[in-house]
Structures are given as C-alpha cells and as structure tokens.
C-alpha cells in the first residue's frame, strides 16, 4: 500500500541504538550492535534503507556506546540514500521514552507523525502501511504487533475489534492474546507532552495512559519478524530473512560449490572445491573457505578464514577469525579475531575476541 508523495514529505524517524548490546556478546565487545552485519549488511542499515524507501527524509539515531564508530560508518550510507542522519548522544541511559524528549525540538519541528524503532528487529518493514493505518484511525499513536506461538513467554497486547488497544498483559498464564509488541511505532508530535528528559519507558510509563485514554491502536504485521538481539534469535532471524529473500531474488552461489537451500554469499568471498554450503548460511565480505568445507545454518562475518575440511553448524563466526583444518564447530559464537587450531571439536563455546583455542570444548562454556 502506498500514499502520495505529499503525505510522505518531511517525515522523521528515531531509532533506539544506545544500548551496550550485552545479549549479543561476544560480538558486541568490539563493535556496537547496530554495526554487526545481518545478512552482510549492518543491522541498523536494513531499517534506515526501508525508512528511506518509505519517504523518510530524516533519521535520528539515539546513540551512546561506541557512538563515533556508528557515526563514521553510517555517514556515507546516508549520503547514498539522500537522507539526513542526525546523532543524538545520550550521556546516561534514557530508556525507550527519554530519547524522544532529548530530540523534542526535531520531532516537533513540523506537524507530521514520526516513527520510533527498536534497533534489533528484522522483518518486512511496513512503514508505508503504518503511515496509512495511523492517518486513518486518527489517534495519537500506533504500534505494530506480531503473532507468536508461545504468548506466555511475552507481554501480550489485547485489542478491541476496532484495533484500539485495550490492555497489556505480561506473560499471561492463560491464553488471552497471541499478539506482542513488535518494537515499531508511529506517533503524533503531541506525544512529546507526555515525556520527561529522564530514564523513561514507553512500554511501562507512556502506553498504559495512552491506552486508558483510547489513543493507542495496533496494526498487525504480515510476514516474518524476529528480535535478533541475541545469538539464538540472530540465527533464527537469518533463516527467516533468507527465506523471504528467496521469494524475490536469486541468491548468490558459485558453480563449483554445492548449495543447499537459502544461501547468501558476498561476491568477494573465495570458496574452494568440493564444499557444501547451506541451508541458511550467510558468508560475508572477503571470507576464504578452503576445499571440502561443510557449513550449515551459520553466519560468517567479514574476513573469516575456514581451512580445509572443517565443519560448521549453528555458528556465528566473528570478523577475522580462523577455523583450523578438520575442526568441527557446533552451536558456537565467536567474537572478533578468534583462532581455532586444527582438528578441534567446539560444542557450544562462546569465545571472546582475540583468543587462540588450542583444545577441544565438549560442553558449552565461555572462553575468557
């Protein structure tokens, strides 16, 4: 669904990227979470590109941890997209509502609605549909909800028939709804009057009062959704994303490589003979994979080297890491610049950056 260009002029969006990314360690020890590549692209860039495609002209990033790294990386991307990228620096954590108050002068500069997003979600971003939905119901705020199979693990959203939100219930033990907050919002500038410049939660302090006043509606998301802020969900989100990408484009492959299922390979990667890759694998820029390697349901970030006849399954391998010959890796996540010696077995290890692994790990553990 689309709207006229006039309705999309001068739209702004705020992306909440200020956290330390502790759930995605050890990757986020050396890089801020928004710059961790998801499907060979910085995580936050997926959102920025989708916003630009929807006609958003100004994107504000609420930053704190490794803010300069984020700014240096994304400035050129913003120029390519033709948008204004503004960095709002938090000197102390402000939660999910405080960052809006910090940039109230920008968000109130025109009378248009604005988007607010959590930085670690991936989906078919429905920003054009969100705007149409929001303008149609005329309330102060709209949130996107998505259905889940096990609602007792989440805080659920209970809606009336007219899409007005009735209440939020945290981890219900009996079924009352299977819809949860998907971390994407659109608000009228009037919401700023509800906010204070302090650590403040949209979900706990702002949404309940908006719900009581009948000013918050829910739009159901169509298609896949995943919070990719921790390793297990990062891999699951990769599988969902690759499945959606398969529907609209042919994924990269090499004629000398056995490809199974959905696989995304950066054109700069070099892959030896007799390898079998897939399903659900992404291979990043300048990765080198030698002969006879088997990889499935894994993510290899930039500059990784996998030596001959290694086996990887359910792994995230950090930048510049090296996997030795005949090594077997399962359920492992490596930080940056980890070296695994030849013929080792790693089962469930979380390896911090700049480590050399010289012995097998047969039970899940964190290597300091």
Indicate which residues carry an active-site annotation: 171
Return the HEC string of the chain: CCCCHHHHCCEEEEEECCCCCHHHCCHHHCCCHHHCECCCCEHHHHHHHHHHHCCEEEEEEEECCCHHHHHHHHHHHHHHHCCEEEEEECCCCCECCHHHHHCHHHHCCCCCCEEEEECCEEECCCHHHHHHHHHHHCCCEEEEEEECCCHHHCEEEEECCCCEEEEEEECCCCCCCCEEEEEEEEECHHHHHHCCCCCECHHHHHHHHHHHCCCEEEEECCCCEEECCCHHHHHHHHHHHHHHHHCCCCCCCCCCCEECCCEEECCCCEECCCCEECCCEEECCCCEECCCCEEECEEECCCCEECCCCEEECCEECCCCEECCCCEEECCEECCCCEECCCCEEECCEECCCCEECCCECCCCEEC
Per DSSP bridges, beta strands 216-220 and 165-170 are: unpaired
Q: Which own/partner pairs from 242-247 qualify as long-range (CB within 8 Å, at least 24 positions apart)? A: 242/39, 242/280, 242/282, 244/124, 245/39
């Amino acid at each position: 669904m689309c709207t006229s260009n006039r309705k999309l002029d001068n739209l702004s969006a705020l992306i909440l990227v200020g956290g330390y990314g502790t759930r995605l360690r050890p990757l986020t020890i050396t890089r801020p979470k928004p710059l961790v590549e998801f499907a060979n692209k910085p995580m936050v860039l997926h959102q920025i590109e989708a916003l630009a495609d929807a006609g958003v002209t100004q994107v504000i990033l609420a930053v704190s941890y490794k803010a300069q790294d984020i700014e240096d990386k994304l400035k050129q991307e913003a120029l390519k997209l033709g948008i204004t990228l503004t960095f709002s620096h938090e000197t102390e954590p402000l939660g999910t509502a405080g960052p809006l108050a910090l940039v109230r002068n920008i968000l109130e500069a025109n009378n248009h609605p604005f988007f607010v997003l959590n930085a670690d979600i991936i989906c078919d971003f429905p920003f054009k549909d969100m705007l149409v939905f929001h303008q149609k119901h005329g309330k102060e705020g709209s949130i996107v909800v998505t259905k889940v199979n096990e609602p007792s693990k989440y805080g659920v959203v209970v809606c009336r028939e007219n899409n007005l939100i009735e209440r939020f219930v945290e981890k219900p033990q009996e079924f009352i709804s299977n819809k949860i907050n998907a971390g994407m919002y659109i608000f009228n500038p009037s919401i700023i009057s509800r906010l204070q410049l302090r650590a403040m939660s949209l979900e706990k302090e702002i949404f309940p009062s908006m719900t009581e006043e009948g000013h918050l509606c829910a739009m159901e998301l169509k298609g896949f959704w995943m919070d990719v802020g921790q390793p297990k969900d990062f891999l699951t989100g990769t599988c969902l994303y690759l499945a959606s990408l398969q529907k609209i484009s042919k994924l990269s492959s090499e004629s000398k490589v056995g490809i199974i299922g959905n696989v995304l390979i950066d054109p700069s990667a070099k892959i030896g003979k007799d390898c079998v890759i897939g399903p659900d694998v992404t291979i990043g820029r300048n990765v080198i994979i030698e002969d006879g390697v088997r990889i499935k349901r894994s993510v290899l970030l930039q500059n990784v080297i996998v030596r001959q006849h290694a086996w990887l399954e359910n792994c995230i391998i950090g930048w510049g890491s090296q996997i030795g010959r005949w090594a077997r890796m399962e359920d492992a996540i490596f930080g940056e610049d980890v070296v695994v010696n030849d013929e080792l077995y790693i089962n469930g290890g979380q390896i911090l950056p700049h480590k050399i692994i010289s012995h097998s790990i047969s039970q899940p553990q964190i290597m300091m």
